[in-house]
Every structure is written in structure tokens, then in C-alpha cells.
Amino acid sequence: MQGTTVRRVGLVLAVATALTGVAACTSPDPSDGPGQEDRAAHRRSLATLRSAERATEHAESARVESTTTMGSLMSMTADGTLGWSDGLTGVLTITYTGGTMADTMRRLGSTSMEARYLPDAYYARMGDTFAEQAGGRHWIRYAYEDLEALTGGSGAPLGDQMRGTTPNQSVKLLLSSGDVRKVGEETVRGRTATHWSGTVAAADVADAGLRKQLTEAGVTTETVDIWIDERNLLVKKVEKARMTTGLMTQTAHYADYGVAVRAERPPRSDTGDFEDLMRKQTGTP
């Protein structure tokens, strides 16, 4: 298999982790408002969202269903369970449904894969065609500290992002919005929920790593919508941003908070390390 193909597949798998959220970022100073009344309303909104962020974080696990589209590059779905009580753990089934990335995966034997998240690494199970070209191994291991290879030097923040893909991170992202507002009460899959919306400017994101990633992807602003139920838990989120690859739209639903999560490390004999695969394909000693 060509080294460029391995890199391309690696990028697919890294991007897939974005399905469950974005990296944490801190909120701007809530005193930045046009008037005292507006500032007071803004502070109340932020207080409500911070309560939702804490409740969602303390729930420690949930069932996730999501869809993501990134222009002509790819579209994909994911579903499974994630836990975040002691590092990120969980299992998702990811299916590439369109775009050039789906074509790449199809040539490698399957458009669907199992992704396992453990506190130290992310594992992706590829198809038989890939295994035939990778020493018979179906699983690829991505150590979070080794993700620099996927981003040409900006991998440390990406590793942090993968470890931080929990539902409460979407609430944190909205807390960075200067125009966060309550839209109203709506029904999400049979549950009453409060809809909140806002626009996040990449330049205003406090986390330097995430700000750099957004900028390098061509993102200047991102719209974030979340729905919070009566238990103060996130039940739905929608994020949209214009990127160099086209419009990115991501929708996720969360349910069964507190669900048991089990993610077993794949057999070592059937697992190849991404860094090792890269060295073999490029001839690097």
C-alpha cells in the first residue's frame, strides 16, 4: 500500500473523532456587553449553561448518535457509547456514507469500522483488504501523543481534542459565544428541551491549540446550537462552520446518561501501531 494512502486513511480516522464534540475552550469575559441590562441577561445565560456543562460532565457516560458532513470530502454517521469518568473510553461504529473519504475506505475493503477509545490511545478496525496490505493486522492504534504525524506539526492539540470529545465540550464551546441566546422550548425525541444558540468566532476562542486548528481549517466563525433537557443534560447539538473543504455540519444526539461503557483493548497480534505502519510504508528506519 502506498505511504500516501496510509496517511490519507489516518486523516480519515482522526477526523472521525470529531463526531462526539470539540476540544474544550474557555468562555470570554461576560462583562463585554453593550449595556447593563444586556450584561445581566448574558450572565444569567452563562450561569445556566455552566450548570448544564457541569451536569453533563458529572453524568460520566452516554449513548451517542451523530452525523457529520464536510463538503465533498466526506459524510459519515456514528453510534455507540462513550464514557469520560477517567479519561475517554467507549466504542463507536463509524460509517462513511459519501465523499472522497468514503471512496478511499471502499477501496480498502469497507466503509464501516469500529472505533475504540481508551485513555491512552484510539483504535480503529479496518477491513480485510487493508489487513492484507498491513501484515494481516486489522486494527490501527493511534497513541494520542503520536498524532503529530497526522497534522504536520500541530498534533499535540489534536491529541488533546480526541481526549476531550465529550458532550459537555459542546456546551463549553457555546460559552465562548458573545451572542449566546435562548431560542425557546422544543421537543427532542419526545423530551422537552431548551434550545440555546450562538456564534463562536475562531479568533475569540481562548484555547490556543483549538484556535490554530480552526484557523488552519479556514474557519472564521462557527454556529453552535444545543438542547438541554429538564435534568440539565445535553440531548442534542448542531455545529456548522465554513471550512476550506466546504461546509461542515455536525449533529449529535445524546441519551441514556450513566450507561455502562466497556472498551476492550484489541488483541496485540491483530494490531498495528500507526507510527510503525508509517515507517514501514515510507522506508523510515
pLDDT averaged over the chain? 78
Instruction: Confirm whether pTM is higher than 0.85.
Output: no
- Phi, psi at 34, each rounded to 5°: -75, -25
27 within some domain: no
pLDDT on residue 175 = 85
pLDDT for residue 154 = 42
pLDDT tens, position by position, 218-247: 778 889 999 999 999 999 999 998 877 778
Domain of residue 253, residue span? 36-280
Q: Is 22 part of a structural domain of the chain? A: no
For the record, the C-alpha cell of 20 comes out as 462526539
Specify the CATH number for the domain of residue 241.
2.50.20.20
Q: At what angle do helices 99-107 and 3-16 cross, to 10 degrees?
A: 120
- d(CA 257, CA 61) in angstroms, rounded, equals 5
Model pLDDT for residues 50-108, shown as the tens digit of each residue: 999 999 999 999 999 999 888 888 888 989 999 998 888 999 998 989 988 888 878 77
**Residue 6 within a domain:** no
Using CA atoms, how far apart are residues 91 and 264, in angstroms rounded to an integer? 9
Q: How many domains does the chain contain in total? A: 1
